[in-house]
């Protein structure tokens, strides 16, 4: 089959295995020949090879992919892993995400003085003072 255009890493192993497992579960992956009986037997062999060998290490997973996936399937896998990686990063950074807001000079001065007094950032100050009202919203 196709040669890998990239290598599955330890960080992406879970996402790659999840994608492959879901595809294998469909019954028509990775082989979809015109002759249905050849497809079924090839897919059963690939599924058994995956179960017996590919789940042992990242290296064995990459080897399985190089053996059984064509170029289009490698691209699908890479895109699925990339999307999963982006979702993971968005979840990790949700509380760290920065938004810009416009405030009056008076409000900025108040934030500046209160944040200095309490030794916190503007965001921490706003969260502290607004959290009670926010939690009581219906």
Can you tell me whether residue 29 is helix, strand or coil?
A: coil
Task: Provide mean pLDDT across the span 112-119.
Answer: 93
Cβ within 8 Å of residue 18, ≥6 positions away? 84
List, for residues 123-137, the tens digit of each pLDDT value: 889 988 888 888 888
Task: Provide mean pLDDT across the span 21-45.
Answer: 82
Residue 89: both structure tokens together = 């990063």
List, for residues 61-82, the tens digit of each pLDDT value: 999 999 888 888 899 999 999 9
Angle at 137 between CA 135 and CA 138, to 5 degrees: 125
Angle at 45 between CA 39 and CA 51, to 5 degrees: 130
């Amino acid at each position: 089959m196709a040669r890998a255009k990239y290598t599955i890493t330890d960080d992406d192993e879970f996402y790659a295995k999840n994608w492959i497992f879901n595809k294998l579960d469909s019954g028509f992956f990775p082989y979809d020949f015109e002759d249905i009986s050849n497809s079924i037997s090839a897919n059963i062999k690939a599924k058994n090879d995956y179960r017996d060998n590919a789940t042992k290490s990242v290296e064995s997973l990459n080897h399985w992919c190089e053996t059984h996936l064509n170029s289009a399937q490698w691209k699908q896998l890479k895109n699925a892993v990339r999307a999963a990686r982006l979702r993971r990063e968005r979840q990790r950074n949700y509380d760290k995400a920065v938004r810009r807001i416009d405030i009056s000079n008076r409000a900025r001065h108040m934030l500046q003085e209160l944040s200095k007094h309490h030794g916190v950032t503007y965001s921490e100050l706003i969260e502290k003072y607004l959290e009670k009202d926010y939690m009581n919203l219906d």
